């Protein structure tokens, strides 16, 4: 089955700096890669996603890049703010079946 | 607002005492999922329904069961909770098994005493 690895497990940045979280996947058949933000005591919320026919996607301060050849994808957050502090999960989904394989999560701390 | 609702938000049960968690959705989505999330870990899929078709993950213990009486509601039954079943239980929905985005509810925190 699919295996998703996520790094780093914790990330601390100063407010205004950029943050990058990286994930690798093992199954070349995976074709959908969402990123979820989970605040303490809440369910995960989708923040951005990318499909395998696209190399990059951007939404305001958040961007995701995908390298299909290397089987890795990354989340980029620019101009970080304290409210960006949360746990971020990447996931990969196999074609034709909507099962998510989650990474182990990254705890992002944005220091004011 | 359309959403995924989970009740209760916090549930305390005794070791071995059956417990039921509920999930409802106003999104009219065909697929509903149940995940287990232990502290500092990723969500782990237990099972999902596509309409009334039930799909169990191979490693989901028999102790966990689910019911979906209609499109809007889905229940998670834990027949004999053990201490290891203490976790956050997340319900999610998606339009179909070919539409990708999953919408998560706020979760139910289960404590087993």
Give the closest-approach CA distance of A96 to chain B in angstroms. 6
What's the whole-number mean pLDDT along residues B10-26? 97
A75 versus A1: which is more confidently predicted?
A75
Q: What is the DSSP string of A57-108?
A: EEETTEEEEEETTTTEEEEEE-S--GGG-EEEEEEEEETTS--EEE---EEE
Contacts of A97 in chain B (CB under 8 A): 97
Contact B42/A98, CB-based, under 8 Å?
no
Q: List all residues of chain B from 5 to 64 with a beta carbon under 8 Å from chain A.
A: 6, 31, 40-45, 48
What's the whole-number mean pLDDT along residues B60-71? 95
Q: Is B4 on the interface with A (CB under 8 A)?
A: yes
pLDDT tens-digit readout, B70-87: 999 999 999 999 999 999
Of A95-99, B58-62, B76-80, give the lowest mean pLDDT range.
A95-99
Contact A105/B40, CB-based, under 8 Å?
yes
- In whole angstroms, what is the distance from residue B91 CA to residue B29 CA? 12
Confidence of residue A108 (pLDDT cuts 50, 70, 90): very high
What's the whole-number mean pLDDT along residues A46-61? 93
* pLDDT of res. A97: 67
In chain A, which residues touch B (CB < 8 A)? 32, 34, 36, 41-46, 49, 51, 89, 93, 96-100, 102-105
Mutate to test the interface with A, among B43, B45, B58, B107 (most CBs of A within 10 A): B43
Q: Is B112 on the interface with A (CB under 8 A)?
A: no
| Strands (DSSP E) found in B1-113 | 4-7, 10-13, 19-25, 31-37, 44-50, 53-56, 64-67, 73-78, 87-94, 103-104, 108-112
* pLDDT of res. A54: 86
Contact B102/A97, CB-based, under 8 Å?
no
Q: Count of alpha carbons within 13 Å of A63, Cβ hemisphere only?
A: 14
- In whole angstroms, what is the distance from residue B1 CA to residue A95 CA? 31
Q: Is it the case that residue B50 has pLDDT exceeding 80?
A: yes
Contact A96/B98, CB-based, under 8 Å?
yes
Q: Is it the case that residue A86 has pLDDT exceeding 90?
A: yes
């Amino acid at each position: 089955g699919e295996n998703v690895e996520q790094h780093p497990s914790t990330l601390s940045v100063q407010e205004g700096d950029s943050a990058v979280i990286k994930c690798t996947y093992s199954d070349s058949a995976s074709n959908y890669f969402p990123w979820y933000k989970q605040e303490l005591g809440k369910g995960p919320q989708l923040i951005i996603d990318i499909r395998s026919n696209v190399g990059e996607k951007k939404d305001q301060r958040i961007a995701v890049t995908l390298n299909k050849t290397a089987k890795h994808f990354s989340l980029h957050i620019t101009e970080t703010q304290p409210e960006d502090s949360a746990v971020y999960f990447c996931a990969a989904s196999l074609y034709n079946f909507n099962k998510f394989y989650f990474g182990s999560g990254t705890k992002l701390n944005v220091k004011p | 607002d359309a959403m995924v609702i989970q009740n209760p938000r916090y549930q305390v049960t005794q070791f071995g005492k059956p417990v039921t968690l509920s999930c409802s959705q106003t999104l009219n989505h065909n697929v509903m999922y149940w995940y287990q999330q232990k502290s500092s870990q990723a969500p782990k899929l237990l099972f999902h329904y596509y309409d009334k078709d039930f799909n169990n993950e191979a490693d989901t213990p028999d102790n966990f069961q689910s019911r979906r009486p209609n499109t809007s509601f889905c229940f998670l039954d834990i027949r004999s909770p053990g201490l290891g079943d203490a976790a956050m239980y997340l319900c999610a929905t998606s339009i179909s098994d070919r539409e990708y985005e999953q919408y998560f509810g706020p979760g139910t925190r289960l404590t087993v005493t």
